[in-house]
Amino acid sequence: MEKIYIYPSCSRVSGYSRGIIQDFNLSKYTFVPIWIISLFEKKNYITIKEFGENLKKYGEESQLDFYLNFLIENEIVYKTNKDIKFQENSLVFESPSIFTNSIIIYKDFNFEKLRNLISELEDFGCENVQIYFSEIENITVFSDILSIFDDSIVQCIEIITNYSFIFYNLDEIIKLFSDNKRLFTLHLTKAPEDKKIFVDVFHIKYIIFSTENFNFKQCGEVHPLFFKNNLPFFTESQQHNTCLNRKICIDVEGNIKNCPNMQENYGNIADTTLAEAIEKQGFKDYWYICK
């Protein structure tokens, strides 16, 4: 009997009025009617006959070829007469990093202080760093800041700073991205206009020009272009708060927090190491409040 199997890399999620199928191998997602999600809710295949019967139940019996071709063309299912067994994806979240991302806010920039912080973060396996400076004096200083990460394990850097004359030359800014592969985002506040320029669409590298002052109370922009569609992020979201899990922040006063918006702090970098802060009661509580 001919069956349609859903690819093992596809995860099914029901929403209020429609469903979504995420393909972790192809890094894409497809919206589908909720009844399609229900067909594969507890099993990975369904016979063509059962598929037709369900279409009839939902008043879509005339659309069998349409829906079947839609699912096949989007590489969600495949047809076969064989019985196939495959291993299910594990939904257990695992990471070798104690911190996966960090925020560092500076009032008065200090190269040595930044080096020491990056060194501490490396001990925890942190690969993503966001840094805020109120002002950067010139392009040379900007390059020197990025050079601190040259021999580090950090993979992704986001820099937020006020717009100034050093950013007039767009070609020169874009060159910073090509010279520093770890730089993914440059957010320029108090700029003459609001605009976004993508330096590299494939790797989602961009420059944001914003007329407003930066406010950490404004959480990240929600846009389909920034959606993560991979198994580690999906599994993390099942058990953790994907914003706060394994995040650490050093605010403008040097206080160690989970996030800049939170009141609680767990010491100050002047007298507390990150290793000491993470062991304090309450630091990890927010990691486990999933959305």
Cα(243)–Cα(291) distance, rounded to whole angstroms?
9
* Residue 136 in this model has a pLDDT that exceeds 90: no
Average pLDDT, the chain: 88
State pTM to two decimals. Answer: 0.79
Name the pLDDT band for 152 (thresholds 50, 70, 90).
Answer: very high
Q: Tell me the Ramachandran region of residue 282: left when phi exceeds 0, alpha when psi lies from -120 to 50, beta otherwise.
A: left
pLDDT of residue 27: 86
**Tokens 């992020």 -> residue:** 233
Contact 48, 3 (CB under 8 A): yes
Beta strand ranges found along the chain (DSSP E): 3-6, 10-14, 19-23, 28-32, 45-47, 77-80, 101-106, 128-133, 156-162, 183-189, 195-200, 205-209, 247-250, 256-257
The string of pLDDT tens digits covering residues 182-205 is: 999 999 999 999 999 988 877 789
Contact 274, 121 (CB under 8 A): yes
- Mean pLDDT over residues 49-69, rounded? 85
